[in-house]
Structure formats: C-alpha cells, structure tokens
Amino acid sequence: MLIPHLSHGQQQVITGAEKAAGWHSLFNGLNTSNWKGYNREEVPSEWKIADGVISFNPENNADNRPKDLVSKETFKDFDLSLEWKISQNGNSGILFNVVENPAYAEPYMSGFEMQILDNDGHPDGKIEKHRAGDLYDLIKSTSEPVKPVGQWNHIRVLSKKGHYTFFMNGVKINGFQMHDASWNKLVAGSKFKQWPEFGLATKGKIVLQAHGNQVFFRAIKIRRLS
C-alpha cells in the first residue's frame, strides 16, 4: 500500500546527468513506491509525505509491530545519498544489509546502523559510539560535522566489496571493512553479539528507522556500483 499523495507534495527529479551516471531515486517526493514496511507489505501509517519529505510521526495505536521503512530492492555495492533531520531529543537511524525474515523481529538483528540523533538532547548522546554519524555501538565517527537539531544534514554512504565509507555534510567520518577478523571482533564486543546473524549478510535492504521519535528524510537517491 502506498502512502496517499498529500497536498503540497514536491516531486524530486533525477537530472539527466545523474541518470547518465547511474543514479535513480529511492524516494520521488510523492509516494512510497520503492518502500514497504519491515516484514510486511504495507507501509505503516505513521509515515507521512508532505512537501517532498517523508517523515515518521509516532502515533498511539495497538500495533506493536516494527514501523521501520524498508527498501523493496536489495543492494550490495552502491553509492547512497540522502538528507535527514531529527526532532528535538530524537533518535533514529539508517540501516544497511538488512535481511527480512520473520525470525528477525527487528531490522537491527541482521543489519548495521548509521546513527541519527539529537546529540545534545537525547541520552544516547552521552554514550560513545551512539552519537549521530557513528556506526552504532561499533565505531565512533572520526569527526562530528552534524548540524543543530532541526536542520538538514546530508549523508553519503559508499559500499564496495564489503568496505563501507560514511560521509556527513561533505566530511568523511567513518570507514570500515566487514566480514573479516576485525569485523568479527567488533561485533563480539558489542550489543549485537546476542544475534548470531548480525552483520553476516553481504547484501540486503536499506532501512529508515522508526525509533519512536519524529524524523525526516528527503532527496534519497542511489546508484549501483555492481
């Protein structure tokens, strides 16, 4: 099910030059044609679209299933670009290599996360490896070029043969290799060691996390590198 087209929507167009370079839109600013709910076909009602922005808006209801938004396509080697902003005291994230499986109740049981956070307002801001831009609970960012809460941040994520590079607002903030001894050691020292399938997949879905706080995304585009 697609989120209804709300008034004042703004289509986000990939330019001819971007198309020639292999880019395509994962969010066109109007609907959720490239997305679905985690372990479900419909999009949770808490996700809204207006003015070319898709946002998670927590609501009180009896549905206790995960509310995360999952790409319909699977990606391995890619170049991802998007913009995000978080609400005051908010927490969210972008997850990669997520495997949809009824045995995995949450996306973070298989996929790793680039943290989105109000560093100053949320309690996780006081925890190392839990701040905005960190590889959540695994690697601290080398710098923190994140903008104040309520302002848009641009991120870029490069994936090539299991090596990931994170950029925020034009600054490289992290780089790591998966599926080697160093990666296994990182996972063994983290909260994710309790989930045996975490970080094993070499490809998977991209997830926009619903963490109970309002968060906004726009200009989501990707190009495959293989």
Cβ partners under 8 Å of residue 15, min gap 6: none
Cα separation, 93 vs 157, whole angstroms: 13
Is the domain defined by 68-224 classed in CATH 2.60.40.10? no
Q: What is the pLDDT of residue 5?
A: 35
Per mean pLDDT, which range of 14-18, 171-175, 182-186, 192-196 is the poorest? 14-18
Calculate mean pLDDT across residues 176-195. 97
pLDDT band at 62 (very low <50, low <70, confident <90, very high): low
How does the average pLDDT of the chain come out, rounded? 93
Indicate if the pLDDT at residue 2 is higher than 50.
no
Task: Provide the residue ranges of all domains of the chain, joining segments of one domain with +.
Answer: 68-224
Q: What is the pLDDT of residue 13?
A: 83
Report if pTM > 0.85: yes
Between 83 and 62, name the one with better pLDDT.
83
State the alpha helices, DSSP H only, in the chain: 16-20, 181-188
Indicate if the pLDDT at residue 10 is higher than 80.
no
pLDDT band at 85 (very low <50, low <70, confident <90, very high): very high
Q: What is the pLDDT of residue 60?
A: 64
202 contacts 97 by C-beta, under 8 angstroms: yes
Indicate if the pLDDT at residue 134 is higher than 90.
yes
Q: What is the pLDDT of residue 154?
A: 98
Please give the share of the chain, as a percent, with pLDDT higher than 70: 95
Q: What is the pLDDT of residue 61?
A: 63
Q: What is the pLDDT of residue 9?
A: 54
DSSP conformation class of 141: -
The sign of the torsion formed by the CA atoms of 220, 133, 3, 29 equals negative
Indicate if the pLDDT at residue 7 is higher than 50.
no
